Amino acid sequence: MTKYNEEFKLMVVQEYLSGSLGYRAIAKKYGIGDSPLRRWVRAFKEFGHSGLSVKKTKQFYSVQFKLDVLNFMKRTSASYQDTAIHFNLNDPTLITSWNRRFLKKGIEGLQKKSKGRPSMSKKQKSTANNQEKTMSREEQLERENELLRLEVAYLKKLKAFRENPNTFLEKHKQPSPSNLNKKDFD
């Protein structure tokens, strides 16, 4: 959302153009900076009412166009405002951000960035499926056989535990730390 709407900008620009007050006086009167006011007046003079309008849809510019704009600005030593007017852009701050990103990151800074959270990786699922597909029929049967052996062993232990839990626990009891000899730690 923009800070100032079109009607406000138009009212302030028309008050300036009427000639009653200067930039600083109008800026102070409405509580804005004189820099945005100067940009609005210049845009209004160059583009008319559309120079003050906020675009409803986001405009995308190619990397080559951005480079052309920045090269023009560097070659001619034009201001951001002059460059914006030359390329029919009504927002010179856009060029400012392009220049800042270009100086910081180079051409990569001018490329379109993907927005939002990256999608979840499907590598984990696909690797399991790929492993099964690459195994031969014999290997798949051996794997299935091993899994069935493990299941049978688990079920036998579960049955033994249900029949007599105390005997099973005594048989599989882990030694407690107090039963260990102290000389093992020396």
Whether residue 69 lies inside any domain: the answer is yes
Domain that holds residue 141: 136-175
Instruction: Look up the pTM and report it.
Output: 0.47
Predicted confidence at residue 172, as pLDDT, reads: 62
Whether residue 152 lies inside any domain: the answer is yes
Phi and psi at 95, nearest 5°, equal -65, -35
d(CA 175, CA 35): 80
- Do 40 and 22 belong together in one domain? yes
User: Which helix (H) or strand (E) covers residue 43, if one does?
Assistant: helix 34-47
Predicted confidence at residue 181, as pLDDT, reads: 55
- Do 2 and 49 belong together in one domain? yes
Whether residue 186 lies inside any domain: the answer is no
Whether residue 26 lies inside any domain: the answer is yes
- Do 72 and 107 belong together in one domain? yes
Distances (CA, A) of 55 to 94, 106, 115, 176: 13, 27, 20, 74
Structure confidence by residue, pLDDT tens digits, 83-101: 888 888 877 888 899 899 8
Read off the CATH number of the domain in which 5 is found. Answer: 1.10.10
- Do 38 and 70 belong together in one domain? no
- Do 78 and 30 belong together in one domain? no
Task: Please give the chain's pLDDT, 186 residues, in tens.
Answer: 467 777 888 888 888 888 877 888 888 888 888 788 888 888 888 777 777 776 666 678 888 888 898 988 889 988 888 888 888 887 788 889 989 988 888 888 888 777 778 777 766 655 555 665 678 889 899 999 998 998 888 888 888 878 887 776 666 666 665 555 555 554
Predicted confidence at residue 132, as pLDDT, reads: 59
- Do 45 and 28 belong together in one domain? yes
Whether residue 118 lies inside any domain: the answer is no
d(CA 64, CA 111): 10
Whether residue 8 lies inside any domain: the answer is yes
Distances (CA, A) of 105 to 99, 100, 111, 150: 10, 9, 10, 56
**For residue 66, how far is the Cα from the chain centroid?**
21
Opening angle at CA 65, ends 59 and 69, nearest 5:
105
- Do 107 and 144 belong together in one domain? no
Q: What is the CA radius of gyration of the chain?
A: 37
SS3 of 70-113: the string is HHHHHHHCCCHHHHHHHCCCCCHHHHHHHHHHHHHHHHHHHCCC
Are residues 93 and 80 in contact, defined by beta-carbon separation less than 8 angstroms? yes
Predicted confidence at residue 145, as pLDDT, reads: 93
Whether residue 164 lies inside any domain: the answer is yes
| Token pair recorded at residue 109 | 């800074």
- Do 43 and 26 belong together in one domain? yes
Predicted confidence at residue 1, as pLDDT, reads: 42
- Do 102 and 145 belong together in one domain? no
- Do 2 and 31 belong together in one domain? yes
Whether residue 127 lies inside any domain: the answer is no
Number of domains into which the chain is organized: 3
